[in-house]
Structures are given as structure tokens and as C-alpha cells.
Chains A and B, each alone.
Chain A
């Protein structure tokens, strides 16, 4: 069974610090990786996607992928209280399969 694992948290970081969120997955054949953000009581929204090994940067967000280690991470630089949310890691194993989500990591940025 394909699984996506995340630490549930809460992960607490001070304002201005770097938040590091981690995700591991069970199958080396995985193709595509996504990070969604979900504020309390709201629906998930896509913030990053990454398809190849290495880093991908978008503003304050950096996604990192290491397929050999089956590991994907999300770094949030200069964390703000508005970044406080649950971050969901999602994996697509092939082009014809729906996303599988991890259980999410709750991030709390303390002002």
C-alpha cells in the first residue's frame, strides 16, 4: 500500500525563523510531489509542486526532493504568523493515479 508519512506536529517556530516540514513516501516509483496548505476550517490550497530531484524555490517557499531517500521537504523562510496552518504533503505515483495525501503537519508561527 502506498503511504505518505508526515509528523503531525505541532511544529512551533518563532516569527522570522525558517520552518522545515518533512515528508516521506513508500514507493520509489513516485512521480510527482505537492504541498498543500490548509487553514483551520478551510479547504486545502496548492502552494508548491516538484517533479525532479533538487530544490525548487517560489518566494519564501522552497521544496526539496530526494527520490533516492524517498524524502520531500518544504522550507518556509522568514516565517510569519499568517503561515500558521496545516501543511499537507501529497504524492502522485503515476500519471493515471489520484493523489495520496499525508495526514499533515500543523505549523504554528509565534509572534
Chain B
């Protein structure tokens, strides 16, 4: 299995508080992604990274920021969490741009009250 871990796995927070989710990989893959999954919406891309300090927005990036200071870590930050950001967040990695063969982390379930 690909070495990819997410933390925390579960978090409950209150509206307006900042939240950071961490994705850590041991595969030295260049590409990392953050998706959210909601009933009726499927998997939607939030942000992705194609290298250290190189990131780009996805379909649902509003309210989220990311950082990648090391190859192995990709952080997703909610500066001021809202109830609409209650979701399951998945991190994924891939070896390169020409492959859709993603390996997913186990997911982080976030509840914003």
C-alpha cells in the first residue's frame, strides 16, 4: 500500500475556528491532492500541488488554503470553519501528471458545529 497518512482522522470544531488537516506521504510522489466528499456531490477537488511550494486551485477552493513546504507534507487549512465545510476530506497522491492512478489516504472526517 502507498504510504499516505492523514491527521487528524476525526475532528469536531466550532464555526469560526481555524482547522488544519495534514497529509503525509512516504512515497516521494510529486503530485498531491485534497478532495472533499459529500453525499450527492461525490469527490470534488479543493486544491492540488505539483511540487514544493507549487499549488493550484480546484473546483471548490473557496474558504480553503494549502501549503507544501516539503515533498512529503501537504496541509489543508480552513481559516475560519463554517458548517458547509463539514465533510470527509481525502488526500491523494500520484506519481505524475499523466497518470490518474491516485492513492488515497484514509480520510479525515470534519464536523463544524
A residues within 8 Å of B by Cβ?
A: 32-34, 36, 42-46, 49, 88, 90, 92, 95-96, 98-104
Instruction: Give how many B residues have a beta carbon under 8 Å from the other chain's beta carbons.
Output: 23
- Evaluate whether A103 and B100 lie within 8 angstroms (CB atoms) in the complex, with A98-B45, A98-B48 already known: no
Distance (whole angstroms) from the CB of B14 to the closest CB of chain A? 25
- Evaluate whether A103 and B102 lie within 8 angstroms (CB atoms) in the complex, with A44-B90, A96-B97 already known: no
B residues within 8 Å of A by Cβ?
A: 33, 35, 40-45, 48, 58-59, 90, 97-107
Q: Is the interface of A mostly helix, strand, loop or mixed?
A: strand
A90 near B100: Cβ-Cβ < 8 Å: yes
B100 near A88: Cβ-Cβ < 8 Å: no
B41 near A43: Cβ-Cβ < 8 Å: no
